[in-house]
A and B are shown apart, each in its own frame.
Chain A
Amino acid sequence: MAVEPLYNALSAIKTLRSNVAVAFESLGNGIRSDHGEDGKETKFLLELQDQLTVVNNNLRDVEQSIGNLQPPHNPFSLGNSGYLSHEYSHDRQALYSQLVLSYKWTDKVHEYCNLAHAQLSQNSLTRSYTNTASAKRRRVQTSSHNVPPHAVDKVITQIDRLLPEMSVSITRPFATNVVLHVSVGRVLRAIIAFKGLLIEWIIVKGFMESLDLWTESRFKVFRKVTENAHAAVMRFYMPPMPEVSVKSFMTWLHSFNTLFSDTCKGCGLHLRNAMPPTWREFRTLEPYHEECKP
């Protein structure tokens, strides 16, 4: 909604109120000494008439500027902040300034998003469906990053049950979003940060290494697997079907159960450049060396 007409309407109302106040004040004071002695009633009436004309004009301005306003299409959804009106003493909450701040912040985010969107839509390597959406509007707008926690839990426990060698534990160190600790056999451990059902970050490490979101493995082989996992996250990324995307990724990760015992499908050996096959084909999950992958 455009802000300019709303601003004009508000200032028109302000002018109207102030001039109405002036008119009532002079009416309340009645005839004053500065009206003189001769024909003071006529003077007073003329003055009042002028003031009422001004008020009339102001009222017309207000009506005109209101006519310029477009009513919002749907009622404003204030979310939880709607409950603020239930509190009688507004001073007690000290929420107003915070609300204003966060409003400004989201407004800025919105602006940056628009800029980023304009930039990214020119990029042919985009992993989102933003540019196809304009051509063929999807019926259901599923969101993969705003999913209720119990739905996320359900998807993850389902996957956990499906993959025998994988065990997962769900933690929520940052309020609603899941940070998943995964171990695959006694081969590797991984830490996966989710945003809703969207995989945002993953680090793969050795079975005996300690896990956190920022330090990478001491071992070259797990650093390579981490790198490939990032590629896999992108490969399996499917916003309309986030569950499928997570499930395919986890199945892919599960196939590293045999990281050290598999031979490469390309050359038939365990090692190439002193590294085991760290690549798994996305569809077939067949192991390949970095240098042998098709």
Chain B
Amino acid sequence: MILMPNFGVVVAGPPRTVHLLNNSEQPATVFSILESGQKQVPLVSDPLFMDLMKKLASVYTGKQQTRMEAKGPRFEVADFLVKLGTVTMNQNFKGVLVEVEYRPCVVPAYCWELIREFMQGFLGTCAPAQAPVYLQNRMQEIYQPLDTIQQYLEQFREYRKAVTVR
């Protein structure tokens, strides 16, 4: 389950947005990503930080909070972890996300082909041919829980864009 309550933050200068995210795989961790312009500042902290931000929420003015959630069953196939998430935005259904993780391997470049073959097995032609955009620049780096969060954020952003277009 990925939760994303969204906070608009106004500091002196241009408005910035903080995304707070939770992943049920790491229940004792809160991921927060501060966006200011092109720059991103990620922060990994313990759950107290979430409480702190809730306290501060009344102080911050600006955009209303958007709560996005991907929730669904979790499967393990050998060392693969597959999660089917139903995406909701403020309780409205938006779509389905499929997360596939191959946990023994820590460098995405080593196992991308293997993951692709695995996804083709049950998604057929729906399986992506390319690695996610976020990962493409980081294929040789060691994968961390924050990378999963960043990919969810990337997907959630797509869903929200779809709303504004409509």
Cα distance, A55 to B79, chains bound together (Å): 87
Cα distance, A276 to B117, chains bound together (Å): 11
Per-position binary interface string of chain A over residues 187-211, scored 1 when its CB falls under 8 Å from any chain B CB and 0 otherwise: 1000000000000000000111000
Residue count of chain A within 8 Å CB distance of chain B: 21
Per-position binary interface string of chain B over residues 60-82, scored 1 when its CB falls under 8 Å from any chain A CB and 0 otherwise: 00000000000000000111100
Tell whether A270 pairs with B114 under 8 Å between CB atoms, given A186-B106, A186-B107.
yes
Cα distance, A269 to B104, chains bound together (Å): 18
User: Which residue of chain A has its CB nearest to the CB of B144?
Assistant: A208
Secondary structure of the A side of the interface? loop
A259 to chain B, nearest CB (A): 8
User: Which residue of chain A has its CB nearest to the CB of B80?
Assistant: A274
Within 8 A of A (CB), among B100-134: 102-107, 110-111, 113-114, 117-118, 121
A230 an interface residue at 8 Å Cβ cutoff?
no
A222 an interface residue at 8 Å Cβ cutoff?
yes
Quick check: B117 and A260 within 8 Å, CB to CB?
Answer: no
A99 an interface residue at 8 Å Cβ cutoff?
no
Residues of A within 8 A of B104 (CB): 206, 217, 219, 221-222, 260
A287 to chain B, nearest CB (A): 12
Residues of B within 8 A of A274 (CB): 77-80, 118
Tell whether A271 pairs with B106 under 8 Å between CB atoms, given A220-B78, A221-B78, A221-B79.
no
User: Which residue of chain B has its CB nearest to the CB of A187?
Assistant: B110
Residues of B within 8 A of A222 (CB): 104
A119 an interface residue at 8 Å Cβ cutoff?
no
Contact of A187 among B78, B102, B105 (CB under 8 A): B105
B56 an interface residue at 8 Å Cβ cutoff?
no
Cα distance, A222 to B104, chains bound together (Å): 8
Within 8 A of B (CB), among A149-186: 186
Quick check: B78 and A208 within 8 Å, CB to CB?
Answer: no
B142 an interface residue at 8 Å Cβ cutoff?
yes
Cα distance, A208 to B113, chains bound together (Å): 21
Residues of B within 8 A of A27 (CB): none
Contact of B117 among A186, A258, A270 (CB under 8 A): A270
Quick check: B79 and A207 within 8 Å, CB to CB?
Answer: no
Per-position binary interface string of chain A over residues 253-284, scored 1 when its CB falls under 8 Å from any chain B CB and 0 otherwise: 00000101100000001110111100000000
User: Which residue of chain B has its CB nearest to the CB of A188?
Assistant: B104
A120 to chain B, nearest CB (A): 37
Within 8 A of B (CB), among A199-245: 206-208, 217-222
A204 to chain B, nearest CB (A): 11
Within 8 A of B (CB), among A13-46: none
Quick check: B117 and A261 within 8 Å, CB to CB?
Answer: no
Quick check: B118 and A271 within 8 Å, CB to CB?
Answer: yes
Cα distance, A269 to B118, chains bound together (Å): 10
Cα distance, A270 to B102, chains bound together (Å): 13
User: Which residue of chain B has its CB nearest to the CB of A208?
Assistant: B106
A178 to chain B, nearest CB (A): 27
Quick check: B113 and A261 within 8 Å, CB to CB?
Answer: yes
Residues of B within 8 A of A221 (CB): 78-79, 104
Cα distance, A69 to B114, chains bound together (Å): 75
Residues of A within 8 A of B78 (CB): 220-221, 273-275
Report which B residues bind A (CB closer than 8 A): 77-80, 102-107, 110-111, 113-114, 117-118, 121, 142
- Some 14 contacts from A to B, beta carbons below 8 A apart, are A186-B110, A187-B110, A206-B104, A208-B106, A219-B79, A219-B103, A221-B79, A258-B110, A260-B102, A270-B117, A271-B114, A271-B118, A274-B80, A274-B118
Further contacts, 8 of them, CB under 8 A, given A208-B106, A260-B102, A275-B79: A186-B142, A206-B106, A218-B103, A271-B114, A274-B77, A274-B79, A274-B80, A276-B114
- Nearest 8 A/B pairs, CB to CB: A274-B78, A219-B104, A260-B111, A270-B114, A260-B110, A270-B117, A274-B77, A260-B105
